[in-house]
Structures are given as C-alpha cells and as structure tokens.
A and B are shown apart, each in its own frame.
Chain A
C-alpha cells in the first residue's frame, strides 16, 4: 500500500530522512516512533506530497507519488485521510458542517451529504453532537469529528500525526479503539506517536526512526535506540 524505495529528503543539507526503504501492506496498522527531529513528520509530508523527495520513489496505492503532477495532487489526497494532534476543525462550522465540508470539497451532492454525514458521525459515536460547535465539545469528541472528516470519503490510507497527544489516557484509549475499528474495516493506518503505553498495548508493527534512518522495524513493543556518547543504546536499557 505504501512503499518507500531509497527515499532521501534533506533541508538545505540538514537530513530529514535518508535512504529510507519501507513497505507497508494493505490493511496494516503501523506505528511510527522516534525522538524529536527523527524525521517522522518528514515521512508523513512525503506521503502527502506536501514536500518532494530529493531522490528515491514513493508509491501509495499503486500510484507513484514522487511523479505526481501538481494538478493530480488533490485527487491523490482524497485517498489519504489525515488527522492531527490539534484536530484542525473549523471553529465557525458545526460538527455536521465540518464533516460535510470534506464532501463539498469533492463535489458530493446535498442528498449524499445528508445521508452519509449522520451515518459517519454515528460510527465514531457522536451522532448527538451534530449541531454543536467544536468549542462546545471535549477534546476526545473533537478528535472523533476529525476522524469522521478524515474517513468520510473512504480513504485507502489514514495518516495520524500524534492523534492522542492532547488527550488524557482514558480518552486516548477510546480513540485508539476507534482507529482499530477503522483499520479492521480495511483502512491502512500509519500513526506517529510518542505514547509508549499505547504502542505496547496495541501490539502492532512499530517502525522506529532516528536521525532520518530506520533503526528498528518489528511487531510489538515501542522501541527506539538513543545514541549516547557514540553508543547505540536500546531504550529499554535506559529506563
């Protein structure tokens, strides 16, 4: 579903990611972990074609992302849902309108919007909040709206950049459950996180990057290596 083939991206000489090759299968749930500045956001921005790779190729759902023309990008992005730590809802729109907005953008009809938005709101468990504004909702509910918006157009891939970063552990757990359900229905999910407890509990594939390189790629535990004094030390050895 997502393939990185020897991808390098530098910012004026500063390494974003370097010579990264990764294969993510359809229907996988993958955690992307690593310390600050490791290159996680760079990886995601490359998937979304927000930035261009310096070398290497990226494929998503059979499409060669690295060779997309700029007029093809919007149509490509409709296949990739996106959720963020800060939700990014439009404060002046209601929950219903926020989700409907994603359908208006892709020219869905009013009838389709009326039919599908309540359905998707129900599936993320906030059908009773349709007429509320984002600031009238709890953080967890806001993230549910964001998830509804991200999946309403049936993306093949869902990218989540620290979706639980602003949530308390209980709420985070609920959101993870929701993401797990979405994944179970076939959507490939890539989630960036710093939350060790979540990663360990979910027991999914974990890709750890550091300094722009993949340093570990295993199923199970949250793990990455810290380079201290020239030695690569497994995190579990520090704690």
Chain B
C-alpha cells in the first residue's frame, strides 16, 4: 500500500517534470486509440448487421400472391414438403410479417402505421437440409401456382460474412501496428525519465533495490499516461458515436432494416477495451525502456 502510494507520487512528479513529452505521448496514444475505436465501431456494427441478416435470410422465403386461395397455399405447402431437400416449412401471415417488421424498426416503427393497408405479402419460410440444394427448391417453388416471388439471400449473406471477417482480420493487423507504435512512443517518453534519473537508479541498485522496486515509479508513469489516453479517447468516441446515432440512427434502421449498436453498450465495452489496452501499452512501454538499465 505504502509502495503503491510512493510509486504514484513519483510518477506524477515525473509526468509534471516531463510535461511536454508526457502530453505528446498521451496525444499519440489517444490518436491511435481513436483510430482503433473507429475500426471497432465499424466491425461491431457490421457484425450486428450480419447477424440480423443471417437470422432473416437463412431461409428460402416464398412470397404468396395476395389473391391466392388458402387451398392453393395448402397444396403448395404439401408439394414443397414432399421434396427431399426440404427440412420444414412455416407459414407467415401478412399480419405476422408486419409485426416482425415493426419490431425490428423499433423506435421508428410508428412510420409503418401510416401505411394504411398492409403491403407485406404472406410467405412460406422454407428451411432446407443442405444449402447446396437451394437451387432445386427455388425452381420448384417458382413453378408452383399462386407464388409471387422467391427470395434466397444465402449467398449474399455468405459474401457479407466473408467481408466482415476480412475487415476484422484487417483491423486486427492495423491495431497490432498501432499498439506497437504506441509502445515505442511511451517507451521513449519513459526513457527520458529513466535517463534523467539514471544516477538515482544506479544508487538504488547499490543499496539493494529489487528491479521491481526500481521499475515501480516508471511503470506507474507509463500506466498513468496510458490511462489518461484511454479515458480521453473512449470519452471522445462515445460522444461522437452518440451524436451519430442520434442523427442517422433511425435512417439506418429504415434503410438497412438493421439497427446501430446502442451507444451505452458500445461505450461500456470500448471503455473496458481501451483501459486494458492503454494500461498494457503504458506498462509495456516503460518495461521496454528500462530493460537495458536493469541488466545488472
């Protein structure tokens, strides 16, 4: 406890003495966390979008003509069920379709109330045993009477998933680079402190201070720098993101029929991730900067 207090006191004194460089490293880590945050936001939203779309379009959707009789529909269902490729079929009425859409639009669901008559068709939702057999089922369904159209987005969804994965890998690589750069920046700042106090470090070693005791204040300095950067950047990103959600959130739902990730969910996760990153960058930076000094 006493040791922790000693370290924090020393660290703040150093940051004060080293104001220019400390501010510079806080800024550069903040900048890199901001870029990282941007990637994070895009990835998280794209993930959500993919999930939503996946849940929707995993099935072959067969839209039924509005004037098709129940008899025709039942006959169609029988015919489709007879196919080997078909696993199961559910019938979704016009009302159910509207309800689902309203639910998905969430806050902007009221827009649908002004439509008057329900424009959505009723549909048959077919789940197929094997994705590769989709074509056969689609052809068969198209040939049946009373069918308006058949939609199957599996391929699109797969492409989307691939794109998301690619983006995620890309972000990871960029992030790794940014983290590395930040560690170097911090280590150079802390190195200044280490040099300024090299005499003290030498004396500490003669007196018999352990390496961790000597590292303590420098480690704390790095961690404080990282902590500041994490707080500033997650604050900034949360602010900007909540504004973006305010302004275009409803439009996004209307256009993509998928919502944006809610601000508070994103902010919470971002804060945790940034704190972890900031602190580890700060700690690694200072350990790296002292390595040579503590050899013997």
A residues touching B (Cβ–Cβ < 8 Å)?
Answer: 48-51, 70-71, 73-78, 82, 88, 90, 101-102, 104-107, 110, 149, 153
Q: A90-B199, A90-B203 are in contact. Are A105 and B208 (CB under 8 A)?
A: yes
Stretch at the interface among B95-103, B209-217, B256-264, B267-275: B209-217
Per the bound structure, the CA–CA distance linking A27 and B205 in Å amounts to: 25
Across the interface, do A106 and B207 meet the contact criterion of CB distance under 8 Å? yes
Report which residue of A49, A75, A107 has the largest number of chain B beta carbons within 10 angstroms of its beta carbon.
A107
Interface residues of B in 163-205 (CB under 8 A from A): 199-200, 202-205
Per the bound structure, the CA–CA distance linking A73 and B295 in Å amounts to: 11
Give which listed residue, A71, A73, A90, A106, contacts B200 with CB less than 8 A: A90
**Interface SS of B by simple majority:** helix
Which residue from chain B places its CB closest to the CB of A105 in the assembled complex? B209
Interface residue B206 (Cβ < 8 Å from any Cβ of A): yes
Across the interface, do A105 and B204 meet the contact criterion of CB distance under 8 Å? yes
Per the bound structure, the CA–CA distance linking A49 and B3 in Å amounts to: 27
Please name all residues of chain A whose beta carbon is closer than 8 Å to the beta carbon of B2 when the two chains form the complex: 110
Per the bound structure, the CA–CA distance linking A162 and B205 in Å amounts to: 20
Per the bound structure, the CA–CA distance linking A104 and B208 in Å amounts to: 11
Across the interface, do A101 and B207 meet the contact criterion of CB distance under 8 Å? yes
Please name all residues of chain A whose beta carbon is closer than 8 Å to the beta carbon of B210 when the two chains form the complex: 71, 74-75
Per the bound structure, the CA–CA distance linking A180 and B229 in Å amounts to: 56
Per the bound structure, the CA–CA distance linking A128 and B160 in Å amounts to: 79
Interface residue B296 (Cβ < 8 Å from any Cβ of A): yes
Chain B nearest CB, measured from A91 CB (Å) = 9
Interface residue B6 (Cβ < 8 Å from any Cβ of A): yes
Task: State which size class the interface on B falls in.
Answer: 10 to 19
Per the bound structure, the CA–CA distance linking A76 and B296 in Å amounts to: 13
Please name all residues of chain B whose beta carbon is closer than 8 Å to the beta carbon of A88 when the two chains form the complex: 199, 202-203, 206
Please name all residues of chain B whose beta carbon is closer than 8 Å to the beta carbon of A106 when the two chains form the complex: 207-209
Please name all residues of chain B whose beta carbon is closer than 8 Å to the beta carbon of A101 when the two chains form the complex: 203, 207
Per the bound structure, the CA–CA distance linking A140 and B257 in Å amounts to: 84
Please name all residues of chain B whose beta carbon is closer than 8 Å to the beta carbon of A74 when the two chains form the complex: 205, 208-211, 213
Chain B nearest CB, measured from A41 CB (Å) = 14
Per the bound structure, the CA–CA distance linking A135 and B252 in Å amounts to: 70
Which residue from chain A places its CB closest to the CB of B206 in the assembled complex? A82
Among all A-B residue pairs, the 8 with the closest Cβ atoms? A78-B208, A77-B208, A105-B209, A74-B210, A74-B208, A102-B207, A82-B206, A105-B207
Per the bound structure, the CA–CA distance linking A119 and B128 in Å amounts to: 89
Across the interface, do A107 and B206 meet the contact criterion of CB distance under 8 Å? no
Chain B nearest CB, measured from A143 CB (Å) = 15
Please name all residues of chain A whose beta carbon is closer than 8 Å to the beta carbon of B202 when the two chains form the complex: 88
Please name all residues of chain B whose beta carbon is closer than 8 Å to the beta carbon of A102 when the two chains form the complex: 207
Per the bound structure, the CA–CA distance linking A88 and B205 in Å amounts to: 12
Please name all residues of chain A whose beta carbon is closer than 8 Å to the beta carbon of B296 when the two chains form the complex: 49-51, 70, 73
Per the bound structure, the CA–CA distance linking A149 and B206 in Å amounts to: 11
Across the interface, do B199 and A104 meet the contact criterion of CB distance under 8 Å? no
Across the interface, do B203 and A78 meet the contact criterion of CB distance under 8 Å? no
Chain B nearest CB, measured from A161 CB (Å) = 11
Across the interface, do B200 and A77 meet the contact criterion of CB distance under 8 Å? no
Chain A nearest CB, measured from B141 CB (Å) = 73
Interface residues of B in 240-287 (CB under 8 A from A): none
Extra A-B contacts (15), CB below 8 Å, given A74-B210, A74-B213, A77-B208: A48-B206, A70-B296, A74-B205, A74-B209, A75-B210, A76-B208, A77-B205, A88-B199, A88-B203, A90-B203, A101-B203, A104-B6, A105-B207, A105-B209, A107-B3
